Amino acid sequence: SYRSLLNTGDFKGKEGEVAFFYPDNKEEERLLLLGLGKQVECKAENLRRAYASVVKACKKKKLTQLSFLLPVAGGVGPIVEGVLLTNYTFDQLKRDSLKEHPTVVIDKLYLIGVKEKEKPELDRIQTIVEATHFGKDLVNGNADEVTPQYLAEQAEYLAKTYAAIKTTVFDKKRIEKEKMGLLLAVNRGSFRDPSFILVEYKGNPLDKNVTALVGKGITYDTGGLNLKPTGSMETMKDDMAGAAVVLATIKAAAELKLKINLVGAIASTENSIDARSYKPGDVYISHAGKSVEISNTDAEGRLVLADAISYVQKHFSLARLIDIATLTGGIVVALGEEATGLFSNDDKLAEELEKAGQKTYERVWRMPLFPEYREALKSTIADIKNSADRKASGINGAIFLKEFIKDVPWAHLDIAGTAFISSPKHYQTTSATGVGIRLLIEFLTQVS
Ligand code: BES
Ligand code: MN
Ligand code: ZN
């Protein structure tokens, strides 16, 4: 019985510790004891993680239906969140290995003793988790499938599904007409056309202001002529994770009927290598009219984002602008996989994002935008160059973007370290994490 588990000391109750036991003469044939650690230290994130280990243990036994006796500590929200997040698999690309380890998903969850008034919150969590799974699928998918055209189709699909969403896709011709010279420059080496995607969600028709979410949509980053070496390129299908966050966040906002207006803008292309590739040392003119010396073709994200940022500022009345991008290796060096880099010209906006980060545990860490950093991006033949040396490279990316920001509260989220992790952990079961989606939904809920 569970008493022997405790008396023998075989079960210590550490956070995430699990033990199956099989009581005689009981209605339940199999029970699982879950450790939650010290009660005073048991916060939302501890519950998410502890219940992730329940899901993993049950999947190993191919169990698909679970009943929970809820613990006294903490709310039921994080428990359900931890379970649903852990219930994500990406097995589409497996073949033989699926015979040995078939996909098991938990398909029924019974919560014993959940209160009626807690139900709306659980529905809300389910909606948000489904959106993060949609986002993770886009990032985990092959770069040769998840192309600029594919992202555009997904955006069009959102418009078909939700009456409050309107999608506009610019093809290459239209992008040329709009003079998005930087997006076109990055696209030069690619066999595929670029796409520029606008997804508008109208959740508050009485408000004329819009929140812009701008996503980096590099569907594969080879580095271009400044080619990435082996060891640096293999994960670069994740370079559209910012775009995935934008699509998934707007999907969740529409599903939740958030009372806010959003415009998602995605600048998408591969950064490939080819005889036609854009060249280090050449100068290109941005949508904003600013000229940019390409000092490194691998600093392509800031280029496509600059054109997108400039476009939404020109065509929409913005309450705030948040861009989200796998922008720099520098932020990975600084913060690892634990925190997203946050840069902002507005303390209030930064604090709201920090708060949302604590609530969701998609933590953000604010970095400086001291004017002195601008020096490093001085060009002798153009208005600005797109990269400097290794020093403060995460900050330089943000400083470059800032040059294209007019008078609007702005935040830049560098998810290069958090979007795609090297090995699964806690409730993150695959490389793609969906980080940014729960964060932004929490933020948008707070400000709407
Ligand atoms: N997509 C990369 C950044 C990246 C690195 C994302 C690691 C995810 C994990 C970006 O386009 C890039 O190549 N940045 C360069 C900029 C440099 C050339 C100024 C970098 O950070 O090395
Ligand atoms: Mn790059
Ligand atoms: Zn990139």
User: 248-264 pLDDT, tens per residue?
Assistant: 999 999 999 999 999 99
pLDDT digits (tens, 9 = 90+) for 84-141: 999 999 999 999 999 999 999 999 999 998 999 999 999 999 999 999 999 999 999 9
Report the C-alpha gap between 407 and 191 in whole angstroms. 37
Contacts made by residues 10-17, CB under 8 angstroms, sequence distance 24+: 11/35, 13/37, 15/42, 15/46, 15/49, 15/50, 16/49, 16/50, 16/52, 16/53, 17/53
Q: Which atom of ligand 1 is nearest to the CA of 419?
A: 8
Q: What is the pLDDT of residues 169-219, one digit of tens each?
A: 999 999 999 999 999 999 999 999 999 999 999 999 999 999 999 999 999
* pLDDT score recorded for residue 71: 84
How much is the pLDDT for 356? 98
Q: pTM for this structure?
A: 0.98
Residue 298 Cβ < 6 Å to ligand 1: yes
Alpha helical stretches, state H, 61-87: 76-86
Active-site residue, from 124, 228, 359, 366: 228
Confirm or reject: Cβ of 301 under 6 Å from ligand 1.
yes
Strand, helix or coil at 283?
strand
DSSP 349-388: HHHHHHHHHHHHS--EEE----GGGGGGG--SSSSEES--
* Residue of 346, 110, 297 whose CA lies nearest to 188: 297
Alpha-carbon distance values, 235 to 80, 146, 185, 221, 314 (Å): 30, 14, 23, 9, 34
Answer whether 343's CB lies under 8 Å from 398's CB: yes
302 an active-site residue?
yes
To the query of whether residue 228 is one of the catalytic residues in this protein, the response is yes
Sheet of 283-285, strands arranged across: 283-285, 291-293, 384-385
Q: In this model, does residue 73 exceed pLDDT 70?
A: no
Q: What does the pLDDT average to over 23-28?
A: 82
Looking at the CA of residue 388, tell me the nearest atom of ligand 1.
19
State the amino acid at position 392 in one-letter form.
Answer: A
Q: Say whether pLDDT at 1 is over 90.
A: no
pLDDT beyond 80 at 72: no
Taking residues 132-154, what's their average pLDDT? Answer: 98
Which of 240, 297, 328 to probe ligand 1 with, by most ligand atoms within 8 A of CB?
Answer: 328
Task: Indicate the average pLDDT of the chain.
Answer: 97
Confidence of residue 347 (pLDDT cuts 50, 70, 90): very high
